[in-house]
Structure 1
Amino acid sequence: MTNGFAADVLICGAGAAGLTLAIDLARRGVSFRLIEKLDDPFRGSRGKGIQPRTQEVFEDLGILDRIVAAGGFFPKQRKYADDGSFTDADVVEAEPATPAEPYHLPLMVPQFLTERVMRERLTELGHGPEFGCELLGFTQDDYAVTARIATEAGEETVRVRWLVGTDGGRSFVRHALDIGFPGKTLGVRAIVADVMLSGLSRDVWHRFGEGDMQRQISACPLAGTDLFQLQGPIPLEGHVDLSVTGLTALLRERTGRDDPFVHSVSWASAFHMNARLADRYRVGRVFLVGDAAHTHPPTGGQGLNTSVQDAYNLGWKLDAVLHGAPDGLLDTYEAERRPVAQAMLGLATSLLDAMKRGQMRRGRDVHQLDIGYPESFLAVEAPERHGVLLAGDRAPDAHVRGAAGQPHRLFDLFRGPHWTLLTYGDASMATRPGLHAHAIGQRGDLADDAGQFRAAYGVAAGDRVLVRPDGYIGAIVGAGEDAVLDAYLLQVSMAGKVDG
């Protein structure tokens, strides 16, 4: 307990968003509790696509290699015609990896495996979710949130600095705050089920009845498991049989084949597709993150990724305010992330419309590499730039060489909860707590032998690039603009002078 608080942060909901926030806070030494009303971890595959930008986030959190090992890449899609003929095509329009963008393909990892890896990482950091622990209610004042929690041992009351609702589309936290959740029901009801299945090969994603909302069905082999994920639209009303018998009958009816056979069902759900966005992401000391703030159709594989990146945006800001940054820094969470969700909802809805016509193609727009915050007050340029990289953009990767001769990636330098300051040229840098400084030049600690840093960042001699803890450009300042950089660092809680 710190200063009368049970913890700094109470996180309500232990899905991907809650786990991301917990991992980020844990590595920062911020105290928290992560509660989940379910008695056990979620065991479905629902969010199975890990987009390239989220892969970069997972690399920073120390889990990317494990995530890749747990899953795999998407197989080709096999679309069957009514006569049984078929064509194979890539799920995603592929682009080559580059030094600036090292991850170029989405991963397929069933959600339950992703969350398992995240829980293991959280355990390494000395924490874990509290299952069977439900938020019953809360109040807040200018200084704290007081929450009532039901646990196996009985009801308890805790006092925390902030409450974060990562509790899904039916969010108790959002309802308790009476935050509007406008949007629309999209007129599509569908099933998703994880099953043991014979009669279909595991080398492709089988799709039948494309463009026909009465007959569509797909069976995707789930990487890292022996399961298939079945997906398909169903009538808007009425009972749907999600048993072994019911799913086998549905699969045979829609494929026109008698060889598919469902042997067991490990998880299944029938749901109505919606596109909704919360009116607000923050009320005082309470925040909404992930599906609690936005819900969407599954087309395009954006939901889990957007939720993870919500949490990744908020974590460092909570830490900064704890260490003296002004409270207004927390307002940038909604200002930066709500427009992203709004754009994601539009993309997922347009992809749903394309799916109905049998014409869905996923391109670069689903990778989330082009997301940025150029309108944020945390994006500062002096002088104003007109080039390849602007403040608020994602910080690209690049290969550089250490002065001792060893190769490095910029992402290696960024990894961790700190800020990073890159100076292009030979200026010496004074660091401070929470800031790692590097000079890239002939007499710097890093050399840009291949010119990748200069090409990706568009810098001139004396320029300084400040990279936020979440991998976005906070500021780009030219030589002689130390005062601008000092003022910026002060507002994010790092006092002192920058020497150069």
Structure 2
Amino acid sequence: MSEDDVLIVGAGPTGLTLAIELARRGAGVRIVDAAPVPHRESRGKGLQPRTLEVLEDVGVTERALATGTTRLPFRKYFDGAHVNDTDPFADARPTPDAPYERGVLIGQWQVEELLRERLAEFGTTVELGTEVTGFEQDADGVTAVLADGERIRAGYLVGCDGGRSRVRRAMGVRFDGTTEEAQSMVVGDVEAEGIGRDVWHQWFTSDGSGVALCPMPGTNSFQFQASPELDASGEPLPPSLESFQRIFDRHARVPGITLTDPTWLSVWRVNVRMVDRMRVGRVFLAGDAAHVHPIAGGLGMNTGIQDAYNLGWKLALATAGQAGPGLLDTYEEERLPVAAWTLGISTELYARVLEAVKEPGTGVEAAAPPPMGTGYRWSSLATSTTTSAGDPDTLRPGDRAPDAPCLDASGRPVRLFQVYADPRFTLLGFGPEVADAVGKLAAEYAGLVQAFAVDAGDLEDHEGHARRAYGVTDPALVLVRPDNHVALLTRDPADVANYLTHIATFTPKE
């Protein structure tokens, strides 16, 4: 029985992102999924700006932007009459520190396809039709049991197997929250010839119900969303093409439109649940296996991808035997509060949608979510120093590291996000006064850190955007984590060395 560093159970966006993060850092990873073939369902259909930043680091954002669309106005109808066309992000513009001003509409199956392609570039593929039924763990690793009786040994196991997670149940953690059986929605993918594909159609009626058709880029399909038909006891009827057609005809009041070619039909119920723990020993949970959300805002897929981004570099250090004491504990420390916040936000958004459809002048666009991924200021990894560089009210340890345009050593344009794509920590030294310290730290921690002297040979902050984004006015050292959050702001090279020594059991070179 061979042993891998990490076994990932579930090959949705969360599991695939985690597999890439581990593979690009040299960890041995095996990823399995119970499904016999990849699905082709739109499901969670939006990537938020912060997730695009994450996926740029992972290596798929350019492909996602080419596949999806960033501009799709909302067209609202009320009792059959056209009310308005709106684009809540019409005035949004990219800035030097935030290059993605809006999200991208893209089917979940397309996101997964892009992630599988990226993972294959590291020589790893998903093992489909492979179901994990249980596991045992000891001090040295985890032994997973497959449905066919095979046993897989790994150093760590991560459950990314969705809301009905078998891994979560086997861990014995709580999954607190509620399931609102009375609040449900039918969703699916259908074709509808004769309906324009340049807007997201939303038909609402004075009784408070409605139906929406969202054109999915790169396909002939629309994602269908509506309140379900109910039986005599008030239970949702099973979704079918015929019921979708009846719902559409009743709300849209557009004659001659026939829904065809259903590739996904489902009933979605309001679930608001999260675990009380995301780690038990060598077993972790991420994505929907750890937290499930109301559909509004598209927060589920985005939160899961960001879970994986947080865990990947930490788990990679652990598999290399270099994780400092408590580093793996910071995954739960940082992500569990985010899950709780997201559940509160997505529940509020869903309530706003239900209220918005009752008013002719508002609609689903009222549920535009707030920014995600702003940071982990509360984390034990967000070390404060007495010699903090910059204004702590503008940028502090734990915050998302901003982007900025610079010039590389040869004078070519380069963005900080491109610099941060290296899987190591990144050290920026602002000013010639700290250039020698930057060079020394780079040499001592070469396997853990890449370092750049800004305005002293390595990078040129030619327009001052980097200094403004990081609040730097004097010579300063900025240490950025592998998941592009600020680790440290300081003027003292000893602070950097102390931080790195705490994070990793890494012996500096003499």
Determine if the TM-score, normalized by the shorter chain, exceeds 0.5. yes
1:428-465 deviations in Å (ceiling 9; x for gaps): 22311131100112x33212121101100011333111
Q: 1:126 aligns with which of 107, 123, 127?
A: 123
Q: 2:339 aligns with which of 338, 341, 344?
A: 341
Per the alignment, residue 326 of structure 1 pairs with 324
Per the alignment, residue 394 of structure 1 pairs with 400
- For 1:23 and 1:67, how far apart are their aligned partners in 2? 16
Mapping for residues 18-417 of structure 1, pairs under 5 Å: 18-82=15-79, 84-92=81-89, 94-150=91-147, 154-186=148-180, 187-209=182-204, 212-213=207-208, 215-234=209-228, 237-238=234-235, 240-323=237-320, 324-358=322-356, 359=362, 360-361=364-365, 365-369=369-373, 371-383=374-386, 384=388, 386-417=392-423
CA contact (8 A) 2:79 2:206 kept: no
Q: 1:455 aligns with which of 453, 456, 468?
A: 468
Gaps of 5+ in 1: none
Moved more, 382-391 or 127-136: 382-391
SS in 2 for 1:131: coil
Moved more, 78-87 or 276-285: 78-87
* Residue identity matched to 1:368: M
User: What is the root-mean-square deviation of aligned Cα atoms in Å?
Assistant: 2.0
- For 1:397 and 1:367, how far apart are their aligned partners in 2? 16
The 3 A distance-change label for structure 1 pair 327 and 167 is farther
Percentage identity across paired residues of the two chains = 41
SS in 1 for 2:7: strand
- For 1:20 and 1:488, how far apart are their aligned partners in 2? 27
CA contact (8 A) 1:79 1:210 kept: no
- For 1:43 and 1:27, how far apart are their aligned partners in 2? 27
- For 2:475 and 2:15, how far apart are their aligned partners in 1? 40
CA contact (8 A) 2:80 2:252 kept: no
The 3 A distance-change label for structure 1 pair 471 and 343 is same
1:358-401 deviations in Å (ceiling 9; x for gaps): 255458853325x2001111111322552421110000000112
Question: Residue 491 in 1 paired to residue 506 in 2?
Answer: no
Q: TM-score by structure 2 length?
A: 0.92
The 3 A distance-change label for structure 1 pair 340 and 91 is same
- For 2:368 and 2:212, how far apart are their aligned partners in 1? 23
SS in 1 for 2:384: strand
Instruction: Quote the offset at 1:43 in angstroms.
Output: 1.7
Per the alignment, residue 433 of structure 1 pairs with 447
CA contact (8 A) 2:10 2:161 kept: yes
- For 1:445 and 1:336, how far apart are their aligned partners in 2? 32
Q: Which ranges of 4 or more aligned residues in structure 1 deviate by more than 4 Å?
A: 91-94, 210-213, 359-365, 496-499
- For 1:272 and 1:144, how far apart are their aligned partners in 2? 37
1:62-113 deviations in Å (ceiling 9; x for gaps): 1111111111124111110225132111154752110100001110010011
- For 2:468 and 2:37, how far apart are their aligned partners in 1? 49
- For 2:199 and 2:249, how far apart are their aligned partners in 1? 18
SS in 1 for 2:247: helix
Instruction: Quote the offset at 1:482 in angstroms.
Output: 2.4
Instruction: Quote the offset at 1:129 in angstroms.
Output: 0.6
Gaps of 5+ in 2: 357-361
Instruction: Quote the offset at 1:200 in angstroms.
Output: 1.7
